[in-house]
Amino acid sequence: MKTALKQTLCMSALLGLGAAAYPVSAHHSTTMFAHDKVVSISGVVKEVHWTNPHVAIYVEGAAKGDKPATWVLEMTSPGNLMRAGTWKRNSFKPGDKVDVDMAPLREGGKGGALKKITNTESGMSLNANLREQEGVVEK
Amino acid sequence: MRNVRREVMALLGISLLPGVSMAQGIPGTPGTKPAAKPVINPPPTAKDWADIAKLPDWSGVWTHVRSDQDRQMKTNPPPWNEKAAKVIEWQYAEERAGRPPPLFQNCLPEAMPAWMLVTHNAMEFAFYPGRVLMLGESDSARLRRIYTDGRGHTDDPDPTFHGESIGKWDGENLQVDTIAMHPQNYIAISEAQGIPNGGDMHIKERMYLAKPDVWADEMTITAPKVLTKPWVTTRIYYRQRLRRLDIVEGTCLEGYFKPAADKDGYPTWEKVSHDPYGNRTPPK
């Protein structure tokens, strides 16, 4: 067995992170997204999963010059989104036309961490930045 | 049949051993030890409730300061032992490669001390005579129960996710002593960096208002299986009072599913696929 693979498996075993432990959502880090990059798409909302611990919006859309595809945009929890702005479960609904900025998946799939979403008809725009609420601490 | 009889008698508290009375332990029975007087939790008095009003005001919704959590990863890392430090190094490498180790993906409670160290969800407090409750938004109704009625630790308590917490008010501070946590509980510094404590962990906390709207938890974590010395670290939370920001239900397992309809048209939950790191899988 190659050393790197062997090391990875040993570490995984130590942490109890065998393959069987993988198939769930739950609380997870977001470093599978390239936070130093922004991908912008325009499209139509297909589904909204207003669920814990990560809300998701599915958008049928495309980046400029790209083919349309279904993108999965992940966010934090409903409670956190409410506190991060004026999010509600129906802020965005299937059928809404939207522009989206996201930190894309590093591995190149059609997904990303949502940074900003704008309803192109109403102009209503929301982000998912929890840190904006932290100003009180500095007072 | 004999075994069944034995089990039934055991359930009824009837001993099968010769010479042992079924009345053993009943006060007044000759030759037996009187049973210890049971400890009861007395009903709170009006004074007990009035004393609650003298405690510091921890009402409102408290949210972790995420930027401080991020900062502390660099400025005050745990004193990991050599073996743990290697695992942490590997976890950082995995994160840099876009493969964050999924420490909390099984939806079990983040538990102590990871809840206090790395939570990404708000919480609130409830004061009752003899106890302080911490109610988290995550894991449906994540709960820490801290007894402040003067009791000590029990003998050999069962290990649990949040351990056995005994608190004592010391002026404006709540001093908390926690033992009996599962060895699997992570000492975590993020959702992707952490090591199971391995057992024999002991946590002392000083909880207090650092500012009118900033609550602080100064923790001293002793975990001889993974740390070379006790780790002192503080996490802070900020207060919000807007009613629209009240705590909501947050069930971790919900993320497995999305609303759907079954074959008869009734509402149901349909499984959603995820990648190995916890992210929903984009459709092919």
Q: Which CB contacts under 8 angstroms, 24+ apart, belong to A42-45?
A: A42/A97, A42/A98, A42/A99, A42/A100, A42/A120, A43/A68, A43/A71, A43/A97, A43/A98, A43/A100, A44/A95, A44/A96, A44/A97, A44/A98, A45/A92, A45/A93, A45/A94, A45/A95, A45/A96, A45/A98
Closest residue, chain B, to A60 (C-alpha):
B283
What is the band of A35 on the pLDDT scale with cuts at 50, 70, 90?
A: confident
Q: Is A56 helix (H, G, I), strand (E, B) or coil?
A: strand
Domain assignment present for residue A67? The answer is yes
Distances (CA, A) of A81 to A88, A110, B54, B105: 8, 22, 34, 20
Chain B residues lying within 8 Å of A74, measured CB to CB: 279-280
Per-residue pLDDT for chain B (284 aa), expressed as one digit of tens each?
444 444 444 444 444 343 333 434 455 556 667 788 899 999 999 999 999 999 999 999 999 998 899 899 999 999 999 999 999 999 999 988 888 888 888 889 999 999 999 998 999 999 999 999 999 998 667 899 999 999 999 999 999 999 999 999 999 999 999 999 999 999 999 989 999 999 999 999 999 999 999 999 999 999 999 999 999 999 999 999 999 889 998 888 888 888 899 999 999 999 988 877 777 887 66
Q: Show me where the domains of chain B are located.
A: 1-37, 61-245
Q: Which residue has the tokens 């790209």?
A: A66
Domain assignment present for residue A5? The answer is no
AA identity, residue B279: N
Interface membership of B17 toward A (CB under 8 Å): no
For chain A, the distance separating the N- and C-terminal CA atoms, rounded to the nearest angstrom, is 56
Domain assignment present for residue A136? The answer is no
Domain assignment present for residue A20? The answer is no
The interface predicted TM-score of the complex, written ipTM, equals: 0.73
How far, in Å, CA of B194 to CA of B208, rounded? Answer: 26
Domains of chain A: total: 1
- Tell me the CATH number at A60: 2.40.50.140
How far, in Å, CA of B188 to CA of B114, rounded? Answer: 5
AA identity, residue A107: E
Domain region containing A40: 26-130
How far, in Å, CA of B75 to CA of B187, rounded? Answer: 16
How far, in Å, CA of A98 to CA of A40, rounded? Answer: 11
Q: Do B98 and A106 touch (CB under 8 A)?
A: yes
Chain A residues lying within 8 Å of B105, measured CB to CB: 21-22, 24-28
Domain assignment present for residue A138? The answer is no
Domain assignment present for residue A8? The answer is no
pLDDT at B43: 96
